[in-house]
Each structure stands twice: as C-alpha cells, then as structure tokens.
Amino acid sequence: MKMLEPKADNLLENNAALGWREEIPQGGDSPGGLVRPSGWLQFKTGAATGEQTLRNLETAVSLLQTASDGLLEIDKAVTAAIGVSQRHWLEGDRKLPPAPELKEDLARFAAQVDGVVRSCRFQGRGLLNGQSGLVGEGRGVEFIRGGPDTVSSPPEGYQVTIQSLPTRGFLMGAVPLDQDWIRAETEIFLAEGERFVRYRPEPDVSVEGFITGLRTALHTSGLNMEVGTTRQNRLLIRHAQYGSQPRFKGSSRMTPLLSKRPGRLEWNRRGRDVQGTIGGETAFGIGRVLMGYLDNKATAELAVAWKGGATQPTENLTCRVAQNAIAFHDGEDGGRAVARLALPSFHSSLLGRWVDTLTGYRCLADIRASTWDELLDTLYMLYSISGELEEWKERAAIWIERYQNRALAVLRRGMVTPEGKPSAGARFPQPSPDTPERMAGEIRNRMAP
C-alpha cells in the first residue's frame, strides 16, 4: 500500500457558518464534528489547463490505487474471520460453548480492519475513514452511506419520514402447537437456498422441547431463522432479516403444524420493505434501509436504516451529513469540475450496520461468539460485509480504469482546443496517429506506483 506523507497541515474548510466543529472525522468516532475537508484536486474557478488536467488524473489514479490496496487488506481480514468462524462452526461440539480463543481471534480481525482504516492515507488525507466520502449521524435512524452526489445537509439535518414500517417474512402453522399434534408429526422441513433441515421430533417431546429442538436444528444447518409461537399458540418461523427479499419454504409432513395441507411445501409470506422519504425526496426501501434515488437533487444514494421497533415513534427522525467527496477537473465537459470521488468509512463500528441479527449486535466491532447463536449471526454479518467489500473493490477498479483511459485520451488530443489551437498551459505536442505506443508508454510511466 502506498503510504505518503501529508503535504498540507490543514485540509479543512471553514464550516463555522454551518455551526459544525472543525475536526477531521476519524473512523468509528461519532461524526458530531461533521466537516468538509478541502482537497488538493479541487479548483474554485476557471478551467484547468491541459497539464493540470493530466496531473489531476494521475493523482486520482494514484489515490484510488492506494484505496484499492486498503480495501484488499480489509477484505483479507474479513475473509480470515470467515474462515476461522466456519471452522469452529463445522468442527465445534454443540454440547459445549464455542472455544474461548475464537472471541479473541474475531476481536483481532476487527482491530486489523481499524488499523488499515487509520493507516490508509494519501498525501495526508484519509481514504477509508470517511474523510474522502460522506460522513453522517442520525436521530431515530442510523446513517449507512451516501454517494458522490449526496449534498451536505443543513445543520438540523434531513427530515426522514417513515410511511410504512418493515416486517419479516414468515411461515405460520394452521393449528395450535400441543403434544397431540407433535406426537402425530414425523418431520418438519425448512429450506433457504441450498441449505435445508429435516427435524424429526421425538414422540414424547414436550412443546418447549419441540421448539428448542427445532431452533437448534435450524442453527446447526445455518438457516437464518427464528422459531416462536403466535398468540394463538401456532408455530411461527420468521426470517432474521427484514424486507421482501429473503425467501424460504417449509412443510410439516403429517400434520398442519406448519403446512396448511400436510406434506405440501409452502413459500413464506414475504416481508415488507420500509417506505418513506428523506429530506422530502422520494426513496426506496430494502429491508430496514431507506435510500434516496439516483436522480434526487439532494439525497441521491443517501441511505439510512430504521432501527426502531413496531411500537416506537416514527416522528422527529433526522439524518445530518457532510459531503467530503473529492471534486476535480478531468478534462471533460469543457474543463468544469465534473468528476467526483467518494469513499465511505470502513471502520469496524460502521461495517455491517445494515445487517439484522437475532442476538442483537449491530456491526463488525460487536461480533462475538460466546454462544452458537452468536457465532451464526457473526457468520451472516461477515458474509454481508464481504459482499459489500467486493462491490467497493469492483467500483474502485472501474474508476481506476476510467481515469487511466481518460488520461490517455488527454494525451492523444495533444491538449488542443475544439478550434484546433493549443490549449493554454499545454506542454504536450499534438501527437501523430502513428505514435500510440509511445503515448501509452508515457502515461503508464507517469502512473507507475
């Protein structure tokens, strides 16, 4: 990873007008001092010269390469945590609690993530701690992330309106759960994707023993569901995650304990995604997460999570954010500052906040393995975080390729205006069509780590 020394003592713009403290946001800290640090790639007025545009593109590529190295190191730590957790899950004795050293290993991997977040810097600017992206905090909701086009909120924050609360998908039996029905049942089948469980209750098991045995079978098979009963004492199977996306199916072979018709597989009733608005603009829901549409003027890609329960109020919900994205001239659209780079914070206290867990912890920093239920939740959170990291690694790779190709295009144009005259400040001659290899080699040398 390229670790460059800071070249500027002060990277902050004055936010006194907004009433926000001037602090560089650190990974995992409360963003009470939301700031918008200035960057060496930003230009207030005028058009960039050809040489300046090329330098911007070189800097952007180097910055993204540094960030990509950091993301790779974080991904290695998460992958190692998944491997250790999977090994304990598959090889552990369910009659005993998980091995104590597993908890220490998980804490060590989370600390490794935070170490990468702190050390991944470029010319004094943090790349993975929110200093080069959107930082925020919520009241009644939890700030998740934003995009390069998310606009900083006013001091009071964006108002979040919840119009419909999220729910979880479920399967519910048709008859009350009692020992007569349990005695008549031979198998409860549940499946989600490629994972499934066949639970065969003992004939003389009690109602409490039946629920405990089914819950243990679900967790042993890695199914992310919980077992309970309704007010009418019917069997209830609910997915751990909120929203309409999780899908599973199940049946009871001989009785209507789970199937309305014995022996018939039934799909779960879908959950409901949260619905509402952010800052008065439309948003769409994914489980508990509410995200602004891409064409929103202020809240594009701004995502918040509803963390309350069904009985908690949905009024006076706000999210306060500050945009730290790097804007710079990239040689397109007449030299205006059209390019933006935004990388969120990957601190362990922020990763995984969108994942619901049955045992109650809410982020990577909280993962633990004192019980098998907690270990199962840990695995599901780690899987989700790994998928998120893959998306960001791919996005960084796309940005790197985009700005490398744009720099090559700037060289090929030879820094000339649309009228065919050399642009102001250009130091590169107009290239000949028969020298593409020389130009490609030149730009590669400029962008070498």
Domains of the chain: 1-133+324-449 (1.20.1330.10), 137-165+273-322 (no CATH), 168-267 (no CATH)
At residue 133's C-alpha, the angle toward residues 132 and 135, to 5°, is 115
DSSP output for 24-89: PPPTTS-TTS---B--TT---SSPPPHHHHHHHHHHHHHHHHHHHHHHHHHHHHHHHHHHHHHHHH
Query: Which pLDDT score, from 0 to 100, does residue 44 have?
Result: 42
Query: Which pLDDT score, from 0 to 100, does residue 442 have?
Result: 55
Query: Which pLDDT score, from 0 to 100, does residue 256 have?
Result: 94
Higher pLDDT among residues 140 and 415, named by residue: 140
The span from the first CA to the last CA of the chain, in angstroms, equals 10
- Global pTM reads 0.76
| Mean pLDDT of the 18-36 span | 39
Burial status of residue 109 (CB atoms within 10 A of its CB: 0-12, 13-18, 19 or more):
buried
Arithmetic mean of pLDDT over the chain = 81
Higher pLDDT among residues 423 and 389, named by residue: 389
When pLDDT is cut at 50, 70 and 90, the band that residue 432 belongs to is very low
| Mean pLDDT of the 139-159 span | 91
At residue 220's C-alpha, the angle toward residues 373 and 289, to 5°, is 50
Give the integer Cα–Cα distance in Å for 420 and 18. Answer: 45
Q: Directed axis angle between helix 372-413 and helix 50-91, to 10°?
A: 160
Highest mean pLDDT of the ranges 110-119, 309-318, 340-349, 427-436:
110-119
Query: Which pLDDT score, from 0 to 100, does residue 361 have?
Result: 85
| Mean pLDDT of the 128-140 span | 89
Query: Which pLDDT score, from 0 to 100, does residue 339 have?
Result: 81
Higher pLDDT among residues 89 and 314, named by residue: 89
Three-state secondary-structure class, residue 104: helix
| Mean pLDDT of the 43-59 span | 71
Query: Which pLDDT score, from 0 to 100, does residue 314 have?
Result: 73
67 pLDDT more than 90: yes
23 pLDDT more than 50: no
Q: How far is CA 357 from the centre of its chain?
A: 15
| Mean pLDDT of the 7-18 span | 28
How is residue 120 written in tokens? Answer: 């991944």
When pLDDT is cut at 50, 70 and 90, the band that residue 48 belongs to is low
Query: Which pLDDT score, from 0 to 100, does residue 168 have?
Result: 93
Query: Which pLDDT score, from 0 to 100, does residue 257 have?
Result: 94
User: How many percent of the chain have pLDDT more than 90?
Assistant: 51
Burial status of residue 81 (CB atoms within 10 A of its CB: 0-12, 13-18, 19 or more):
buried
Query: Which pLDDT score, from 0 to 100, does residue 51 have?
Result: 77
Q: How far is CA 443 from the centre of its chain?
A: 34
174 pLDDT more than 80: yes
Query: Which pLDDT score, from 0 to 100, does residue 45 have?
Result: 42
Query: Which pLDDT score, from 0 to 100, does residue 437 have?
Result: 53
What are the CA-CA distances from residue 241 to residues 65, 90, 318, 358 (Å)?
A: 35, 23, 24, 9
347 pLDDT more than 70: yes
| Mean pLDDT of the 349-366 span | 88
Query: Which pLDDT score, from 0 to 100, does residue 316 have?
Result: 84
Inter-residue contact 398 to 382 (CB < 8 Å): no
